[in-house]
Amino acid sequence: MYENEPAFFETSPKPGVVGKPLDRVDGRDKVMGRAKYSAEYPLPGLTYGVLKTSDIAKGRIQRIDTSAAQKEPGVLAIYTHENLPKLAKTPNDPDGKKAIGAPMGFLPMTSDVVHYAGQPVALVVADTFERATHAARLVQVTYAAEQPIAAYTDPKAQLFNPEKIQDGKADGYTRRGDARAAMASAPVKMTAVYTHAINHHNPMEPGATTAIWEGPDRLTVYESTQGVTRTQKALSTMLGLPQDQVRVITKYLGGGFGCKGSCWPHTVLTVQAAKALGRPVKLVLTRQQQFTSMGHREDQTQTLSAGATQDGKLLALIHEKTATTSPWDNYTESNSKIINMLYECPTFESHYELGRANVMTSTFTRAPGEAPGSFAIECLMDDLAYKLGIDPIEIRLRNYAEKDPSTGQAWSSKGLRECYARGAELFGWSKRNPKAGQTRDGRTLVGWGMATASYPVHNSQGTARVRLYADGHAVVQSGATDLGTGTYTVMTQVAADSLGLPPEKIRFELGDTKLPTAPNSGGSVAAGTVSSSVYMAAQDVWERLTKMAIKDPKSPLFKAKPEEVVMEKGRLQLKKNASKGEDFKALMKRAGMDDIEGSGQGKYGAGYEAGQSTAAAGDAHKDEAAKHSMHSFGAHFCEVHVDPDLGTVRVKRWVSVHAAGRILNAKTARSQIIGGSIFGIGAALMEATARDPHYARYTNADLAEYHIPVNADIPEMTVEFIDEHDPFINAMGVKGIGEISMVGVSAAVANAVFHATGKRVRDLPITPDKIL
């Protein structure tokens, strides 16, 4: 299965276990039940918190009657907006949100105002979970309800054009050249409208917090988060505590997909309850509460227009997005970024329109922006291909961007052509019938579709620490998180090769703010940044040991020049004469050292050649890196079978080929791409949260009615990677694959459905009613 292991680049770390399909180092602990998740710490005096949430979506709380609940056995406290301790700073403060880094500019239970259904209105703490759950049901809330707005599609929703669409990170309006004029004179014009249902992340492990205070100003939180540091910053700001007095621990995570990328209200409320009660409090969201507690992918409409030549060359792209946002924030996914960079096109224009509704703030959902944005551009390219009678791969090659059209920068690397070619070969694309609705297997309609994927390498940096012991093992640490996708495993591999030790001699520790700071496991930054940090920290150790050796008259390397010394399988030796050197253990033993520590920083743009020494990437290299646009690329190929009478779509074959720099583990990477593709197939065919237009409440907030793919929905999937050496992105040449696996997936499915049926469905998910 892994015959396609990526080739190893010649430069450091030396070829070893990096890239190999190493089994998960944490796999055994997980299946044995030894891996502790954030709600699984049996602390002395632990109490159980359960949220009571609002049934109405807009209005005020008139009265909360807790008397019946208070009388129940085991109930320790009931917190509401009336008795919860005040915070030093809340996201409700006009300038508070940015300082706090909380995802939502509103914190529930700070007043009697209700802004969305499912908003926490009380937190019941009891000595058992069952008693807290029962008591929460007895809390009586009387509301003065008002008519809510459920979505931007509500005629009463006031639409506005935001200048910034997410915390000042992206422009609400982008313009490159004169797209309107180019469109007006284009020989071929197309416009289409794409809608996307509300999607919820639904990780297997719901949001969970265990908060323990030691005295009034020291807090430890076991939190189900994609980033311990970000949660630490948010909590310390809100509580008014120095950052180091808030410790956040996340040893294992049962998925996140973006919803655990920020610090949400239930975490803050649990921390406050624990403080008020003076006992540790654990709170786990129910599956239903998960739908109203940690964001979602917003309901949205995109209108995409393209102008092109008769031979399919793009001349203009105009993108408009309208979406629902919350009463306070301007968050919306920035769909237009990928549309602006994916193909060579001389002109581009995008703008956003948002409608405030009584919903919580939506948030990053796997490939935020790129996933729905790629649905629009990749369906449109397919339409253009059929209209002009050009093969869908051929039309993409005719518009192949040799540099990033959105910035004019050269790519740091781009293996997309190879992805198309290899994917087409694996899939058998050349046998495709160019006409839609013409291929059958018995009475079943058969369709083939493909789409391009891309995701940027985001600017990020992190740190790691290596402690190498003289007995030949090492502890390697970085405050990163493992979403379940393999951070423990790949960092063990990187540390092993960087230290010249076998992986079983490495213990990699993560998920604790006491460790060196690492970025969120989000935006596909963790693999590249943390692996580079680990590599640089190991380099720091070798540099220290080299300095010792060349000063040690007993060392064979005495008086050698540092630049002449290399590490080979734990041995320091002369580059030009391998026989002259010694094992690090001998060197350390002579010096009477039990261990030695090094630390290192993994930096965006601090490229791989420059990463040969612990010195930060030289300025020349940094300048060179800054001139480049850094993205991973890929291509998905899909075969669907459509029942012409029932309208059901079955995905029958799947091929994904990606070029994402160095692949750290052939097995976990393949699993990552499979997982992301299944996530995308879910969005394409099944996933939709229904928000009642009158009450603004979700009507299918559970996994019985919110449909996701199960094994029977997914065929055998073929995943490959293109060997790609990127000299600019980071010291390990790793681009990351968490997000890109989802990009283009729904378009590949929709394009296959069109090929099968001749019917273009632009409204996700593609349920049978839309096909018939």
Q: Which residues are catalytic?
A: 739
Query: Shortest distance, CB of residue 425 to ligand MOS, whole angstroms?
Result: 31
- Stretch in the footprint of ligand MOS (CB under 6 A) among 127-135, 178-186, 230-238, 254-262: 254-262
Regarding 398 and contact with ligand MOS (CB under 6 A), the answer is: no
- CA torsion sign for 270, 274, 277, 279 is positive
Interface pick for ligand MOS out of 97, 134, 313, 366 (rule CB under 6 A) = 366
Query: Tokens at residue 15, please?
Result: 């070829």
E strand or H helix at 566: strand 565-568
Regarding 226 and contact with ligand MOS (CB under 6 A), the answer is: yes
Of the two residues 368 and 727, which places its CB atom closer to ligand MOS in the complex? 368
- Stretch in the footprint of ligand MOS (CB under 6 A) among 92-100, 250-258, 277-285, 690-698: 250-258
- Lookup result for tokens 């920083």: 601
Of the two residues 523 and 733, which places its CB atom closer to ligand MOS in the complex? 523
Interface pick for ligand MOS out of 365, 477, 498, 601 (rule CB under 6 A) = 365
Regarding 368 and contact with ligand MOS (CB under 6 A), the answer is: yes
| DSSP SS3 for 11 | coil
Query: Shortest distance, CB of residue 51 to ligand MOS, whole angstroms?
Result: 24
For the segment 344-363, give every residue that binds ligand MOS (CB under 6 A).
none
| 143 within 8 A of 117, measured Cβ to Cβ | no
- CA torsion sign for 384, 388, 389, 391 is negative
Query: Shortest distance, CB of residue 522 to ligand MOS, whole angstroms?
Result: 3
- Kindly determine how many residues on this chain lie close enough to bind ligand MOS according to the rule CB under 6 A: 12
**Residue 735 phi, psi (nearest 5):** -95, -25
For the segment 712-741, give every residue that binds ligand MOS (CB under 6 A).
739
| DSSP SS3 for 306 | strand
Of the two residues 363 and 546, which places its CB atom closer to ligand MOS in the complex? 363
Distance CA 655, CA 396 (A): 18
Write out the E strands in 181-292: 188-196, 208-213, 219-223, 246-249, 281-284
**Residue 449 phi, psi (nearest 5):** -140, 160
Pairing, β 120-126 against β 300-308: unpaired
Number of other residues whose CB lies within 10 A of the CB of residue 626: 11
Query: Shortest distance, CB of residue 500 to ligand MOS, whole angstroms?
Result: 33
Regarding 6 and contact with ligand MOS (CB under 6 A), the answer is: no
Interface pick for ligand MOS out of 364, 542, 608, 654 (rule CB under 6 A) = 364
- Stretch in the footprint of ligand MOS (CB under 6 A) among 36-44, 257-265, 298-306, 617-625: 257-265
Interface pick for ligand MOS out of 6, 120, 258, 581 (rule CB under 6 A) = 258
Of the two residues 299 and 383, which places its CB atom closer to ligand MOS in the complex? 299
For the segment 286-305, give every residue that binds ligand MOS (CB under 6 A).
none
| 285 within 8 A of 133, measured Cβ to Cβ | no
Regarding 522 and contact with ligand MOS (CB under 6 A), the answer is: yes
Distance CA 114, CA 591 (A): 67
Of the two residues 366 and 467, which places its CB atom closer to ligand MOS in the complex? 366
Distance CA 299, CA 321 (A): 11
- CA torsion sign for 108, 112, 116, 119 is positive
Query: Shortest distance, CB of residue 281 to ligand MOS, whole angstroms?
Result: 26
Query: Shortest distance, CB of residue 703 to ligand MOS, whole angstroms?
Result: 20
Pairing, β 173-176 against β 113-114: unpaired
Write out the E strands in 309-363: 314-325, 347-356
Pairing, β 246-249 against β 565-568: unpaired
Query: Shortest distance, CB of residue 255 to ligand MOS, whole angstroms?
Result: 10
- Stretch in the footprint of ligand MOS (CB under 6 A) among 59-67, 251-259, 349-357, 403-411: 251-259
- Bond preceding residue 280 cis, omega within 30 of 0: no
Query: Shortest distance, CB of residue 65 to ligand MOS, whole angstroms?
Result: 40
Contact residues for ligand MOS, defined by CB under 6 A? 226, 256-258, 261, 364-366, 368, 522-523, 739
